[in-house]
């Protein structure tokens, strides 16, 4: 068997902008999902996972759509990708998939997209070598949307497949989504992201409170954004200027739109600073402003995430914010390397004082996207 890997991601800035045709700025994580795979010829797909001990899941490739209700929840991600390949006319004669994930589940670091994209690159390399990364992104997202029932945008799959080491990925979702046939797609740019050169680290604070994007609240935010765009007579909130937001009569829809409009501006501001090679400490306040917007206007933060951000900034972090879809998961903090331990200690004290379990913390660098490992 050969092995492929796909990374998790953190979004430096740009939450809930992808499904509004906006801008995002993720990096890939050094934490990956590994998929050891081999072709088989009996029409069966077998999926095992080190994180799910017990008998592997075994289905006929031709039965994946018809028997979806029988597929265990965790297995719907890899099997959904297999089903999407066959739905689009790619013949899968059978395959063994053995998974091992190091991306924390439920931490808002896109473990699900890492899993889906690891399987997608396996299937491409074994059975459909003509497929481009752009095509895989579309297929992996369709598998999560249709087979799993998670209404994700393009952010997670794009980060897993397109990110490069030492860079953040500036993605213009509208331009990228419109160009499904290009080899790697248009509408994206690799932005240098080397914090170590400035004596900085990006700290991830996993609150230990898992988020679930299939529980309805994420879908509700998407619906609210669509309603806000409709109220302003535009295709998507990407097309709205800050001055137009006040024309939305409904208070909730107005605040949802305000977050998206200001978050798009924050993404472009951060990308410009990094592109110019200035000291990244200057992006810190923009990150913290993004958290306030997610907390107050988009209402997807939690007390634990707020505590992590507040404690990190008070202890000297240059900026901090929640990452991912929200309702749990992780925060990031931009910290001086020599100050990392002090920030971690302050966050742990804050959690202990609040009666919360100690968070998991770790520093990350911008890593490579999905690829064959050996």
Point out the residues that are catalytic. 156
Closest by CA position to 332, among listed 314, 352, 317: 317
Long-range contacts of 246-253 (CB under 8 A, 24+ apart): 252/224, 253/224, 253/227, 253/228
Sequence-distant (≥ 6) Cβ neighbours of residue 362 within 8 angstroms? 203, 204, 206
Q: Are 31 and 7 in contact (CB under 8 A)?
A: yes
* CA 59 remoteness from chain centre: 28
């Amino acid at each position: 068997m050969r092995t492929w890997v796909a990374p998790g991601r953190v979004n430096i800035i740009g939450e809930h902008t992808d499904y509004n045709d906006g801008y995002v700025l993720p990096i890939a994580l050094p934490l990956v999902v590994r998929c050891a795979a081999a072709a088989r010829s009996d029409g069966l797909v077998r999926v095992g996972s080190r994180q799910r001990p017990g008998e592997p899941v075994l289905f006929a490739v031709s039965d994946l759509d018809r028997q979806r209700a029988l597929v265990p929840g965790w297995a719907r991600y890899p099997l959904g990708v297999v089903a999407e390949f066959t739905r689009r006319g790619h013949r899968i004669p059978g395959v063994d998939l053995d998974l091992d994930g190091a991306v924390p589940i439920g931490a808002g670091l896109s473990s699900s997209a890492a899993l889906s994209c690891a399987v997608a690159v396996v299937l491409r390399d074994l059975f459909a070598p003509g497929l481009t990364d752009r095509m895989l992104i579309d297929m992996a997202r369709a598998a999560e949307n249709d087979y799993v029932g998670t209404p994700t945008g393009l952010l997670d799959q794009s980060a897993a497949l397109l990110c490069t080491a030492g860079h953040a990925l500036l993605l213009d979702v509208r331009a990228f989504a419109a160009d499904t046939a290009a080899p790697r797609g248009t509408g994206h740019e690799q932005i240098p992201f080397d914090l170590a050169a400035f004596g900085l680290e990006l700290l991830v604070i996993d609150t230990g409170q898992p988020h679930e994007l299939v529980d309805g609240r994420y879908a509700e935010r998407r619906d609210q954004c669509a309603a806000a765009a409709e109220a302003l007579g535009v295709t998507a909130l990407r097309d709205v200027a800050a001055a137009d937001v006040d024309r939305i009569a409904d208070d909730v829809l107005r605040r949802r739109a305000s977050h998206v409009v200001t978050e798009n501006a924050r993404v472009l501001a951060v990308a410009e600073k990094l592109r110019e090679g200035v000291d990244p400490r200057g992006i810190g306040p923009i990150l913290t402003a993004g958290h306030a917007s997610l907390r107050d206007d988009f209402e997807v933060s939690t007390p634990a995430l707020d505590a992590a951000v507040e404690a990190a900034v008070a202890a000297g972090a240059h900026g901090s914010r929640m990452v991912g879809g929200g309702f749990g998961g992780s925060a990031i903090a931009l910290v001086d390397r020599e100050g990392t331990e002090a920030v971690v200690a302050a966050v742990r004290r804050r959690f202990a004082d609040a009666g919360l379990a100690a968070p998991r913390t770790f520093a990350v660098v911008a890593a490579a996207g999905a690829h064959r490992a050996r």
